[in-house]
Amino acid sequence: MIGTLLTLIIYIVILGLLWWLMEYLLGLFPLPDPVPRIIRAVAVIVLVLIVIGLLLQLFGLAAGLNVPRLHFG
C-alpha cells in the first residue's frame, strides 16, 4: 500500500513535469492553430489514463490498465 502511494506521488510529479515541458515547448515553437489543441487533447487523454491505471492499482482493481510500478521495500 505504501509502495503504491509512493509510486502514485512519483508518477504525478513526473507527469506534471512532462506537462510543463510540453506547454513550454508549445509556447516556444509557434504552430498553426489546431495543432497545439490536438497535442494538448491527446496529452490529457494519456495522462488521465495513466492516473486512472495508478488509482486502480491503489485500490487493487487493476485488470487491464496496468501501469509499471516502482517497487519500494
Residue 31 lies in a domain: yes
Tens of each residue's pLDDT in the chain, 73 residues? 677 778 788 888 999 999 999 999 999 988 898 999 999 999 999 989 888 877 777 777 765 555 566 666 5
Residue 8 lies in a domain: yes
Residue 49 lies in a domain: yes
Residue 15 lies in a domain: yes
pLDDT value at residue 60:
74
**Count of domains in the chain?**
1
Residue 73 lies in a domain: no
Radius of gyration of the chain (CA): 15
pTM as predicted: 0.71
User: Grid coordinates representing 71?
Assistant: 517497487
What dihedral angle (degrees, nearest 10) is formed by the CA atoms of 13, 19, 21, 22?
160
